[in-house]
Chains A and B, each alone.
Chain A
Amino acid sequence: MLKLEAVTVRFGGLTAVNRVSLEVPPAGILGLVGPNGAGKTTLFNAVSGLVKPRSGSIQFGGHDISRWPQHRRARAGLGRTFQIPQPLAQLTVHENLVVAQRFGAGAVDEQKLDEILQLVGLAAKAHRDAATALSLSELKALEVAKALATRPQLLLLDEVLAGMESDSKRAFREMLQNVHERFRVGLLIIEHDIETISALCPRVVVLNFGEVIADGEPDAVFRDPRVIESYTGAVPA
């Protein structure tokens, strides 16, 4: 479904992402972990089109999308959430989804919207102002709902659980599981919470200093000394 080959992103002299290759199979789930500043969000931005990679190829559904504008990637089935929620300000929750569905999926389908709102638990606040009336976890749910409304084949989830209590985390995790099964949508998940990653992802890729340092099943990866080292702050030799 999504295939990155040797993707490199530079900001001036800083190489934020260095020759990263990874693959998410159709309707598969892949975890992306690594310490802060490892280049995870930058990689998301490259995939969704917010930054242009210096080199490498990004393939999605069989097309090289690395030169496509953002909106075209969204219409092709790439949905994403932002680490800091970005509700469409001045709009209600429902209108947020209408815009996403109309422009991302092509047409408005109220029944589908209701289903999404129910699933993420925002049905009660559908007609509230999105930017001001929601709590943090509701904003995160809106991020997911917005992306879902574009009828994605793959969702890029950028730390959707960060900052939540452990109870809400569990509920949110279940919600994501539901989303995955109900809509047969692939997930690429950035997350710091190892428990969440282990529960959701059959495979994990670890980034550090913009490079892939490990790739495999969560249990094996989190025992990898290099991964532990990267998290404890030691500079890799």
Chain B
Amino acid sequence: MTELILQALYSGILAGSSYALIALGLALVFGTMRIINLAHGEMVLVAAYMAYTLENAYGWNPLTAIPLAVIVACMLSVIVNFLVGRIRHDRELNSLILTFGLGIMLTNVSLMIWKADIRSTKSAWLQDAISFGSLYSMKSELLFFGVSLVLVGAVAWWLRASWYGRAVRAVSSNREAAKLMGINPQRTELVSFLVAGMLAGFAGVALYCNSVIQPSLGGALTVKAFIITVLAGMGSIVGVLIGALLIGIAEALTTTLASSALQDLTGMVLFLLVLFVMPNGLFGTKQHD
């Protein structure tokens, strides 16, 4: 039993690290633009399908799809950024509906191109088991765990140290003040969208290598990313990482102790519990006029 639980913890941490990539992109865009990109999960999914396409059509290793996945996800990011920027009234709510519509489009385009079937990698090398003592994982899981840590670390460093990163932080905390300091908010938003796209590209390939994909999965990914952002509390990268690992572990434990069908339920119940127990706590929606 202990061994099973240890294994679940291990798998959960590995899976959670990829969730962090998805959630971080969502949180970054939310931070700078105050909008939730409801098509974020679909973007990740489209990136995943790039890996599928290269593997399926040319027999390439899915890892070689990373550049293409990143480029495609960044292009989608730029499109979202452009469309949202053109909303004239009530951007907060209308951007939700707009990105929701974009999500519908991406899902249905995926359905047309790649059909409704469930896809996963055929690469034996990626799926090979690798063990530490009694803990097992696939090679790809361990690989993307490392990639995720490096990327999250890089983004954290970028936000802290680089000029654009600081501009992103400035726009997040006070858009008007940032403008006065000579920061172009539009440019900054675009940059945060691009970073989100880059992360989504990696996350997509990780998703394809580590598990299975299907066009209808996008919505659930967005929800998962949002749940992590909420658990984390806004504006904390370490929080996003911890929240993501938490969800990963909770899901893995549910699979081990109950059933894999209930896996998605865990995160959502956790999320609703947070809503019940700390209605204001994690969000800081209390408003002063």
Query: Is chain A's interface secondary structure helix, strand, loop, or mixed overall?
Result: loop
Chain A residues with Cβ under 8 A from B288's Cβ? 11, 45, 50-51
Q: Per DSSP, are chain B's interface residues mostly helix, strand or loop, or mixed? A: loop
- In this complex, what residue of B is CB-closest to A84? B289
Complex Cα distance, B289 from A50, in Å, reads: 8
Across-interface contacts of B289 in A (CB, < 8 A): 45, 50, 82
By size class, the interface of chain B is under 10
Instruction: Tell me the complex Cα distance, A51–B289, Å.
Output: 9
The answer for the CA separation of A82 and B288 in the assembled complex, in Å, is 13
Which residues of the partner chain B approach A51 to less than 8 Å between Cβ atoms? 288
Q: Which residues of B contact A45 (CB under 8 A)?
A: 288-289
Q: How far is the CB of B163 from chain A (nearest CB, A)?
A: 28
Q: Which residue of chain A lies nearest to B287 when distances are taken between CB atoms in the complex?
A: A50
User: C-beta contact mask, B229-247 vs A, less than 8 Å → 1, else 0?
Assistant: 0000000000000000000
Chain B 271-289 per-residue mask, 1 if CB under 8 angstroms from chain A, else 0: 0000000000000000011
Q: Which residues 183-235 in B have Cβ within 8 Å of A in the complex? A: none
Task: Mark interface residues in A48-67 (1 if CB within 8 Å of B CB, else 0).
Answer: 00110000000000000000
Closest residue on chain B to residue A51 by CB atoms: B288
- How far in angstroms is the closest Cβ of chain B from A85? 12
**A-contact 0/1 string along B248-289, CB 8 Å cutoff:** 000000000000000000000000000000000000000011
Q: How far is the CA of A11 from the CA of B286 in the complex (A)?
A: 12
Task: Report the Cα distance A51→B286, complex, angstroms.
Answer: 9
Q: A residues 95-135 with Cβ under 8 Å of B?
A: none
CB distance from B204 to the nearest CB of A (A): 40
CB distance from B82 to the nearest CB of A (A): 31
Which residues of B lie under 8 Å from residue A82 when comparing CB positions? 289
- Shortest CB-to-CB span from B278 to chain A, Å, is 15
7 contacts between A and B (CB under 8 A): A11-B288, A45-B288, A45-B289, A50-B288, A50-B289, A51-B288, A82-B289
List residues of chain B with CB under 8 Å of any chain A CB. 288-289
Write the residues of chain A forming the contact surface with B, with a CB cutoff of 8 angstroms. 11, 45, 50-51, 82
Complex A-B, nearest 7 residue pairs according to Cβ-Cβ distance, in ascending order: A51-B288, A50-B289, A50-B288, A45-B289, A11-B288, A45-B288, A82-B289
